[in-house]
Structure 1
Amino acid sequence: MSDAVAPKKSWRPTRRQFLLGLGVGGVGALALGLPAMRLGLARAFDKGLTPSSDSLDPTVWFEVLPDDRVRLHLPKVEMGQGIHTALAQIAAEELEVPWERMEAVHATTTHGPVDNRGTSGSMTVVGLYQPLREAAATLREMLRAEAARQLGVPASALVAAGGTLSVKDQPGKKLRYGEVVAKHTGTWEVPEQPPALKPAKDFQVIGKPVPRLDLEAKLTGQGVYGYDQRLPGMLYGATARPPRLGSTLRAAREGKARQQPGVVEVVMGNDFASVAAESREQAHAALAHLELEWTGGESLQQADVDARTTVKDGEGVIVQDEGDVPEHLGRGKQLTAEYRTPLAAHAHLEPQAALVEVKPERVRVWMSTQSPGSIRKQVAKALERDEESVELMPTHLGGGFGRRLDAQAAIEAARLSRATGRPVHVGWTRAEEFRHGFFRPPTHHVLKASLEESGRVLAFEHQQASGDVLFSLIPEAAGVVLGADPGSWRGATIRYTLPHRRVRAQRVRLPVPTATWRGLGLLANTFALEGFMDELAHAAGEDPLAFRLKHLGDDELSRRFRRALEAAAKHAGWGTPAPEGRARGIACSVDAKTVVAQVAEVSVQDGRPRVHRVTCAVDCGLVINPDGATAQVEGGIMMALSSTLSERITLKDGRVEAENFYDYPLLTMKDAPDIDTLLVGDGDQPLGMGEPPMGPVAAAVANALFTLTGKRLRTLPLKL
């Protein structure tokens, strides 16, 4: 920063705010909050970030510690997707801090930025890339200005490198960042405008496969998850669950529950009955001694769900409409197909869990959650407390996938803690997680198209019906206005350059709780669209890759699709004979602006599909961490393959049949294919990465199986 760009605005932390920094960073630590409106952080706050009540102006993002470590407080939660590492890389790049000195921790709802929208949608790195760079660069310049004052030189004479500020012509005259902070007295000066950012050609940390910050904690068992959280004197809670879906509690009496071993309290309300005991086993055992009367609920069978999840021709909301589809669907060669996907569980390793301590002056919550701000609001509402009196500390998450947006475990623990005056831990059992959580909704797709004699698609229509996804999380009135759930038609629009194309989405109301699942509707819609595109290619007598390429235009998105398709195909050996007994299939999709193309190589073993290799070309823009991006591809493909080949929730007599992993089979290590990841993107901005790799998998596998067996499989999971 030149001397001409002098810092103009200052802030001085109050004693409470300074002690807040001391409590985390130790004596001499700088807890730094950066003004959102000037540094571009406003863009992040507009997306759901709000400052916490006890933080600096407006919120604590960084701490510079006396030992030169820089601790970054992040509002978005780390659940295995590597975002804390990526965000720390972004900050380290502008701060000029060695990677080994960077730390990243979850912000709590009283220390750091509060995230009211949750970590989802593959938007964390995308949304925070620019604001975080600006914040880090501003901190660097604040340290430069203070070091210049301490050394008695112009700020322009100092060079920042390796966490040290040194005089250009006198390298021995220098101060480490920690020294600058330790020697600082008075007021920190904040620039009115963010400094110029480092050009991409000078990046030394961004774009490098640095090791994950949370790796050691997870490998050594030091990481604490919500299910692991403990406090002295803590109790365990359990809540009665309805006998079948849709049942509600009509009447509840304690019965002999309070007399059972270890029971401390029984708490009942209009719609719940819970027990707190000295052990988890005692709490669950006591539930059997409550006298409960349930009413309502359907004796629902799986066939009922399938029948309700059916497209009604011409109904629903039009979400894409170009040209004149009704006029042209009847021309040329006409094709129609139907695709289905089932209910599915999240099946993460850690069930729902929360520890809550309710005291007169404040409430503390420890929880594995994707949405700290939202959970805090819901706990405060359940306890009829001011939101500011509730502090939520996010823990490690044993899987998220959209399931961790739910506050139920925290609410159950909060009620019991209020009643007992002691901390209460609620950890759902595996059976509770499978039978009483929410699921990925089932879908039904009707696809129609007409082909010209030249083999080009003239008109294409996609009608889909789905249970709720995002509508489960918003007021009913909003759902009525929107008509169809945007989450259900994620990935449903037709991206090929066609003269006539239309997509219609229909809402299906089900007596089964459905909501968010990784990628929302992406997997189901891509399975249908790319499966049908393959059918059209074969009907036209053309190679599936060539058919896709000829239906791409000259726009930027088409260019990116072409590059990804060609890269995946070339690497996979498309156009050359597959190994004996195997075949290849191809599919592509775009999600969170990231383009993905995949080639699956499959065989049939013992009458079942076996996937040997998946080649995945990804255009995700600027790659922050190649190793992290590759890991997201591999994890997404494995989860999507598991859903493609084996996962399905079924109902019988109003109950979910699965209660554990033994009757909800997941893909295992022995089933895992070789995965080749090609990062083919460019650009100066990162794009979404957590969910896009989920899209093409099912279609690519189904398309390969058709080439191999001649059977077109249109229902998940794929069964021959």
Structure 2
Amino acid sequence: MARAPRKQSNKSKGISRRTLLVGGGAAAGLLIAWGAWPRRYRPNLNAGPTETIVNAFLKIDRSGQIIVVVPQTEMGQGVTTVLPQILADELGADWRSVAVQSAPVSPLYANTLLAREWLASDWTRVLGDAGDWAIGQYATRSALMLTGGGTSVPMFHDAYRDAGAVARVLLCKAAAASWSIPWESCDIQDGLISDGADRRMKIGDVVAEAVQFDLPEILPYRQGQDARLSGQDLPRLDTPSKIDGSHNFAADIRLPDMVYASIRQGPIGDALLAGTDDRAAGGVTGFLKLVKRDRWVAAVASNWWAANKALDLADPVFTLRGKPVSSGGIDEALENAFSSSAGRRLYAQGDLLPVFEGATILASEYQVDAGLHLALEPLCATARVTDDGAEVWMATQAPGLARAAIADALGLSADAVTLYPLHAGGSFGRKMDWDAGVQAALIARDMGRPVQLQWSRLEDVVQDRPSAPAHARMAAKLGRNGAIEGWLAKVATPCAMTQTWARIADGKLPHEAAADAADKATRLAVAGMAPSYAIPNWAVDHYPADVGLPLGFTRGNAHLHSAFFTESFLDELAHLANMEAMSFRIQMLGGNPRLAHCLSTAAAMGGWQGGVPGSGQGLATHMMNGAYAAVLVEAEMSGDRLNVSRIVAAVDAGDQVNPDIARQQIESGLVYGLAYAMGASVPYEAGLPIRAILGRMNLPRLADVGEVTVELMRSTADPAGVSDVAAPLVAPAIANALYTWTGQRLRSLPLVGAA
């Protein structure tokens, strides 16, 4: 992509050992390069004439409206309800008075939890707590705001509880001062401050005075369960506006004098724009201009349809450097990776060599195709660029990095770019990339007027950054009692997470990021491969590869293929041991009672028949990021069509704030997993997907989704994220079910060929 000369580089460079360690290494002490930076940050919120900023997460209006500031991107997962619910519960607010506002870019909203998961490396693990601290400092001081991986609630739960407690204490102090009583005798319920007797006061009446009081050394939390909002199935705050159409997504933004753009970026890989038919494009009514860069061309018109038609007639030609991506090439690269010297053993327990030596082992091979995101809303952004700076409206899961990329492309300082984060019409990780925002800003600068850039569905599919394709070679040794004595997993796959970070934080082009990660073995690529079961001797090896297909952040990430490999192979081992699949798993889950409870519950609710031939029932279990889940499915083949008549899921994700939203997310994950099993993948040839029409991808329709039952296990554990945990389970459960129906073991995803 061509860029203007830089005035100032704003890119957040990737964290490295040299970035954080200065001097004689860990033994000489951990020295932070930014040690002189300020360690306290103030909220950078704007307040209206009647609003009072209480803290970084809360404003209160004089009328009593509670305005909760949320830094996480709402993508349908309900985060703009759950986080406010935590705060409102601790504050004692009336739920009807709660509103939500998106947060500006600030270190106060850094997602250090996802940063630690994403950026952990061998050297940070060696440093232990110091390494975690260093990554946290990097994320905070870089204002690394991230949404993904089910981390929103685990990351911000305590912050919102504290924010609510702070507001409650301050408001009680202000009310108590006016009543001349001890503040400890006051409380707030349903938005009213009371003294425990007859006196009442509205929150808005004293909020301006409340922020002048000091907090006690120990912050008290609400006690008891009366009138608590946490744990209730409260209505979502975003539902009314989505029903009446007033909710603004990226494509709904309208600005004075705005024009519309469509874009074409060529085949997958290192593609450069070679030429266009400008005269043909000029014949479209409403067409204004072709905006060209090294790697893309956009047509601008008075409406999007005219822009897209002009782009079709312009018939852009691209020159592709390097070998074009193809499905055959992807498979070949993955198989060749097993003989590469870049492979590394990343997880190990016990000693496999004496267990496998001279023994009879079961070995199986599996493969998974890349899975497309296919969100309801293709990428879209609106931009206005003036002499004073730039404004961009877009949905993004990494607003700080997106703002830095836009500023860098325009040659501006980050402070000169205002990013308005919008809710996303689905994402599944796709909006972690910021391409559309940068492109819209460059087109707007070229046009000298506001521009709304909307990718077509074709462009969305061609330029998608799908989940990683993977091949696995699994081997195991069974003991006489049917227990697994040894387990070895060799996985050839690129690391989508490494590629994503290189693009969004270091500004690398997609093909550059893929090539740079081609020889880097990482735990991110095989997350979820470590067995959840009590196996005395096991190991997981990763063999990195460059498949020529840029990959991206997805729902479940590597767990999508990891669960398929492990749970399918476990089913094979159960049949080899002549044991029914649930008992085979249960015998190895003595040290994992939460997962065992989920498995037994799903089996009981689903009427598990023991996996007998013809039952069409299959099981799978998985755990990730503090959440535990088991799924039972009933499936059959009708000709070449897969029918899944029933899905039962039992999930232990701790004490959920809003159980109904948790169930929604689990159900959503189950359907996402069903799509991953049935379709959501396309063959590639000559650098392009062979199919790009949703109707030809064998995606599940409403009629394909049978009865879905979700059981949330009662738990007093801290709440875990639930958006990802169910998605990886569906494909292996269906594959195991189809084995009982057909007698054939399906070891490839998708399980059935697309039309």
3-state SS, counterpart of residue 361 of structure 2:
strand
Q: Which runs of 5+ in 1 are unaligned?
A: 1-10, 34-59
In the TM superposition, what whole-angstrom CA distance separates every residue of 1:520-556 from its partner, at most 9, and x where no partner exists? 01121111101000111110111111111111243xx
By how many angstroms is 1:376 displaced? 0.8
2:428 maps to which of 383, 397, 401: 401
Residue aligning to 1:29: 51
Residue aligning to 1:55: none
Q: 1:337 to 1:576 in 2, by over 3 A?
A: closer
Question: Hey, what's the Cα distance between the residues in 1 that align with 2:689 and 2:316?
Answer: 23
Matched, 1:571 2:605: yes
Q: 1:156 to 1:453 in 2, by over 3 A?
A: closer
Matched, 1:627 2:623: no
Q: 1:508 to 1:179 in 2, by over 3 A?
A: same
By how many angstroms is 1:371 displaced? 1.8
Q: 1:388 to 1:344 in 2, by over 3 A?
A: same
Matched, 1:282 2:306: yes
List aligned pairs for 1:203-222, cutoff 5 A: 204-222=228-246
Matched, 1:662 2:695: yes
By how many angstroms is 1:167 displaced? 2.1
Question: Hey, what's the Cα distance between the residues in 1 that align with 2:488 and 2:224?
Answer: 43
3-state SS, counterpart of residue 525 of structure 2:
coil
Q: 1:506 to 1:117 in 2, by over 3 A?
A: farther
Question: Hey, what's the Cα distance between the residues in 2 that align with 1:634 and 1:294?
Answer: 44
Question: Hey, what's the Cα distance between the residues in 2 that align with 1:566 and 1:199?
Answer: 34
By how many angstroms is 1:89 displaced? 1.2
2:549 maps to which of 512, 523, 529: 512
Is the 1:265–1:419 Cα contact (8 Å) retained in structure 2?
Answer: no
Matched, 1:465 2:492: yes
By how many angstroms is 1:414 displaced? 0.2
In the TM superposition, what whole-angstrom CA distance separates every residue of 1:622-676 from its partner, at most 9, and x where no partner exists? 1111111111111100110111123321112221112221222311110012111
Question: Hey, what's the Cα distance between the residues in 2 that align with 1:494 and 1:576?
Answer: 22
Is the 1:444–1:466 Cα contact (8 Å) retained in structure 2?
Answer: yes
Is the 1:470–1:486 Cα contact (8 Å) retained in structure 2?
Answer: no
AA matched with 1:456: A
Q: 1:551 to 1:217 in 2, by over 3 A?
A: same
Q: 1:257 to 1:408 in 2, by over 3 A?
A: farther
Q: 1:681 to 1:659 in 2, by over 3 A?
A: same
List aligned pairs for 1:89-100, cutoff 5 A: 89-100=85-96
Matched, 1:83 2:79: yes
1:374 maps to which of 373, 390, 401: 401
1:354 maps to which of 372, 375, 381: 381
By how many angstroms is 1:331 displaced? 4.8
Matched, 1:305 2:330: yes
3-state SS, counterpart of residue 568 of structure 1:
helix
Is the 2:189–2:227 Cα contact (8 Å) retained in structure 1?
Answer: no
In the TM superposition, what whole-angstrom CA distance separates every residue of 1:37-78 from its partner, at most 9, and x where no partner exists? xxxxxxxxxxxxxxxxxxxxxxx3211112222010100011
Matched, 1:157 2:181: no
1:529 maps to which of 558, 566, 572: 566
Question: Hey, what's the Cα distance between the residues in 1 that align with 2:308 and 2:212?
Answer: 55
Question: Hey, what's the Cα distance between the residues in 2 that align with 1:598 and 1:99?
Answer: 34
By how many angstroms is 1:200 displaced? 6.6
Matched, 1:71 2:67: yes
AA matched with 1:163: G
Q: 1:479 to 1:255 in 2, by over 3 A?
A: closer
Matched, 1:484 2:518: no
By how many angstroms is 1:718 displaced? 1.3
Residue aligning to 2:23: none
1:443 maps to which of 461, 466, 470: 470
Residue aligning to 1:57: none
Question: Hey, what's the Cα distance between the residues in 2 that align with 1:615 and 1:452?
Answer: 31
Is the 1:614–1:674 Cα contact (8 Å) retained in structure 2?
Answer: yes
1:678 maps to which of 679, 697, 711: 711
1:646 maps to which of 638, 663, 679: 679
Residue aligning to 1:712: 745
Q: 1:272 to 1:645 in 2, by over 3 A?
A: closer
Residue aligning to 1:3: none
Is the 2:498–2:517 Cα contact (8 Å) retained in structure 1?
Answer: no
Question: Hey, what's the Cα distance between the residues in 2 that align with 1:577 and 1:301?
Answer: 38
2:587 maps to which of 544, 547, 550: 550
Q: 1:465 to 1:204 in 2, by over 3 A?
A: same
Name which of structure 1's ranges 430-439 and 657-666 shifts more when overlaid on structure 2.
Answer: 657-666
2:149 maps to which of 121, 131, 134: 121
Count of aligned pairs between the two proteins:
667
3-state SS, counterpart of residue 57 of structure 2:
strand
By how many angstroms is 1:284 displaced? 2.9
2:418 maps to which of 386, 391, 404: 391
3-state SS, counterpart of residue 695 of structure 1:
helix
Question: Hey, what's the Cα distance between the residues in 2 that align with 1:383 and 1:516?
Answer: 26
Question: Hey, what's the Cα distance between the residues in 2 that align with 1:211 and 1:319?
Answer: 44
List aligned pairs for 1:252-291, cutoff 5 A: 255-256=278-279, 259-260=282-283, 261-287=285-311, 288-289=313-314
Is the 1:413–1:424 Cα contact (8 Å) retained in structure 2?
Answer: yes
Is the 1:372–1:392 Cα contact (8 Å) retained in structure 2?
Answer: yes
Q: 1:164 to 1:431 in 2, by over 3 A?
A: same
Residue aligning to 2:346: 319
Q: 1:319 to 1:309 in 2, by over 3 A?
A: same
Question: Hey, what's the Cα distance between the residues in 2 that align with 1:494 and 1:314?
Answer: 25
Is the 2:346–2:522 Cα contact (8 Å) retained in structure 1?
Answer: no
Residue aligning to 2:205: 179
Q: 1:232 to 1:324 in 2, by over 3 A?
A: same
By how many angstroms is 1:434 displaced? 0.6
Is the 2:325–2:549 Cα contact (8 Å) retained in structure 1?
Answer: no
Question: Hey, what's the Cα distance between the residues in 2 that align with 1:605 and 1:266?
Answer: 50
3-state SS, counterpart of residue 232 of structure 1:
coil
Is the 1:383–1:415 Cα contact (8 Å) retained in structure 2?
Answer: yes
